[in-house]
C-alpha cells in the first residue's frame, strides 16, 4: 500500500484521524476502541482507511488473526505523540502571551461525583470564573481509562479519577477517599436482614462487578460474591442493584438518596466496605499553563 506521495499538509481532520489511530493502537482492536472513542466499529474502520490512504502507508494488519501494527504503523504512532504534544505546547505558549486567564479548560470527570460534598470542583470553577470571564469550561463525563487517554493525548487538561495506579506522563493531586459499601435494593431477598447479615452468608450471592480499576483490597471482597454482571460505571451498577437481582458496591453519597427512601440498604456494613482514593490528574509538561495552574490552585484552596 505504501506510495511515494508526500504528505503536503496536516489538517484538523488529519489530527482527528491520528487520534483515532492512536486510541485503536493503545487498546489493540477496533471493538475495544468503540467505547473509548464513542463511535461505531464501522466508523473506526472508515477512519483508519482514510488515514492510510492519506498517508499512503499500511498502518496495521486486521482480520481473523487479530490486530497488529506494521513497522510503519509503530513509527507513525511515535510521531503522533510528538505532534500532539507540540500542538498542546503551542496552545499553552500562546496563552502565556496574554498573561491573563482565557481560553478553554477541558475537564474529564468520572460520573456520579456531584453528590459528594467534598468534591469542591464546583467551588474551584466558580473561583476560576471570578478571576476571568474569558474562560470557557467544558466538562465531559467518562470512564477513568478514557480520561487518562484524553490527558495523555491533549484532549483534556485535567481529570478527576480514581488514584489507583499512577501512569507515566501524568501527575496527580490527591483529593479524598470515597467510602463504598455493598448495597441491595428493597426487592432483594436479603433486604430485611441487611444490617445484621453475616458476611459468610453473602458467599455466592449474585453481584455487579465494576469493569474499571479498583483498589487491590476490593477484589478480596468481590471474591466472596458471585460475579454475575458487569458495569462500566457507578450508574450502571445502581441500575442493576435496583432490579433486586444483584448486590453491588456503590459510593455511600450516591446511594444515600435511595437509603433515605428505604429503597436500598448496606449489607454487612461493618465488613463489606472499602475506600476509593480520588485525585485530580494533569499531564506532566515542561511549559507552564496559567489556566490549569489556576484551576489546581483554586481546587487546592478547598
pLDDT at 248 over 70: yes
- The whole-number pLDDT of residue 79 equals 87
Q: Give the chain's mean pLDDT.
A: 86
Own/partner pairs for 45-51, CB < 8 Å, 24+ apart?
Answer: 47/16, 47/17, 47/20, 47/21, 48/17, 48/20, 48/21, 48/24, 50/17, 51/14, 51/17, 51/18, 51/20, 51/21
C-alpha cell read off for 49: 482507511
Domain 12-89 has CATH 1.10.10.10: yes
Give the model's pLDDT for residue 66. 72
For 122-165, write each residue's pLDDT tens digit. 888 888 888 888 888 888 888 888 899 888 888 899 999 999 88
The fold of the 177-276 domain, in CATH, is D-Maltodextrin-Binding Protein; domain 2 (3.40.190)
- Better pLDDT: 107 or 132: 107
Position 223 pLDDT exceeds 90: no
pLDDT computed for residue 86 by the predictor: 77
CATH T-level topology, domain 100-176+278-301: D-Maltodextrin-Binding Protein; domain 2 (3.40.190)
Q: What is the pLDDT of residues 264-293, one digit of tens each?
A: 999 999 999 999 999 999 988 655 678 888
- Would you say the CATH fold of 177-276 matches that of 12-89? no
The predicted structure's pLDDT at residue 288:
60
- Please check the confidence at residue 59 and state whether its pLDDT lies above 60: yes
Helix (H) or strand (E) holding 141: strand 135-141
Burial class (CB in 10 A: 0-12, 13-18, 19+), 46: middle
Q: How far apart are CA 45 and CA 240, in angstroms?
A: 33
Please state the domain extents for the chain: 12-89, 100-176+278-301, 177-276
pLDDT (average), residues 78-93: 76
Task: Determine contact, residues 213/277, Cβ cutoff 8 Å.
Answer: no
Q: How confident is the model at residue 1 (pLDDT cuts 50, 70, 90)?
A: low
Say whether pLDDT at 87 is over 80: no
In which residue are the cell numbers 437509603 written? 259
**Average pLDDT of the segment spanning 2-25:** 77
Burial class (CB in 10 A: 0-12, 13-18, 19+), 65: exposed
pLDDT digits (tens, 9 = 90+) for 40-50: 888 888 988 98
Strands 170-185 and 247-251: antiparallel
The answer to whether the pTM exceeds 0.85 is no
Question: Which single residue is written with the C-alpha cell 436482614?
Answer: 193
Confidence of residue 5 (pLDDT cuts 50, 70, 90): low
pLDDT of residue 257: 93
pLDDT tens digits, residue range 178-203? 999 999 999 999 999 998 898 888 99
| Residue among 208, 202, 180, 181 at smallest CA distance from 190 | 202
Instruction: Say which residue, 9 or 171, is predicted with more confidence.
Output: 171
Q: Write down the pLDDT at residue 193.
A: 93
d(CA 62, CA 262): 51
Amino acid at each position: 500500500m505504501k506510495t511515494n506521495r508526500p504528505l503536503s499538509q496536516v489538517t484538523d481532520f488529519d489530527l482527528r484521524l491520528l487520534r483515532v489511530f492512536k486510541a485503536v493502537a493503545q487498546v489493540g482492536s477496533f471493538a475495544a476502541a468503540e467505547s473509548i472513542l464513542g463511535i461505531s466499529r464501522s466508523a473506526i474502520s472508515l477512519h483508519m482507511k482514510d488515514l492510510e490512504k492519506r498517508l499512503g502507508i499500511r498502518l496495521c494488519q486486521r482480520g481473523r488473526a487479530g490486530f497488529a501494527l506494521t513497522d510503519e504503523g509503530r513509527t507513525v504512532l511515535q510521531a503522533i505523540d510528538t505532534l500532539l504534544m507540540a500542538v498542546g505546547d503551542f496552545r499553552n505558549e500562546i496563552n502565556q502571551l496574554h498573561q491573563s486567564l482565557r481560553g478553554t479548560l477541558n475537564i474529564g470527570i468520572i460520573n456520579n461525583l456531584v453528590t459528594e460534598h467534598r468534591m469542591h470542583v464546583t467551588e474551584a470553577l466558580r473561583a476560576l470564573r471570578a478571576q476571568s470571564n474569558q474562560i470557557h469550561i467544558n466538562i465531559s463525563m467518562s470512564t477513568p481509562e478514557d480520561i487518562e487517554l484524553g490527558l495523555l493525548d491533549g484532549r483534556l487538561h485535567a481529570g478527576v479519577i480514581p488514584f489507583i495506579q499512577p501512569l507515566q506522563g501524568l501527575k496527580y493531586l490527591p483529593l479524598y477517599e470515597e467510602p463504598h459499601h455493598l448495597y441491595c435494593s428493597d426487592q432483594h431477598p436479603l433486604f430485611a436482614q441487611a444490617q445484621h447479615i453475616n458476611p459468610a452468608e453473602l458467599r455466592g450471592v449474585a453481584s455487579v462487578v465494576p469493569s474499571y480499576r479498583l483498589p487491590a483490597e476490593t477484589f478480596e471482597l468481590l471474591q466472596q460474591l458471585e460475579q454475575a454482571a458487569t458495569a462500566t460505571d457507578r450508574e450502571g451498577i445502581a441500575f442493576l442493584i435496583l432490579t433486586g437481582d444483584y448486590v453491588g458496591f456503590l459510593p455511600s453519597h450516591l446511594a444515600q438518596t435511595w437509603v433515605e427512601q428505604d429503597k436500598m440498604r448496606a449489607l454487612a456494613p461493618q465488613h463489606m466496605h472499602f475506600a476509593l482514593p480520588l485525585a485530580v490528574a494533569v499531564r506532566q509538561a515542561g511549559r507552564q499553563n496559567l489556566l490549569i495552574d489556576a484551576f489546581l490552585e483554586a481546587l487546592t484552596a478547598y
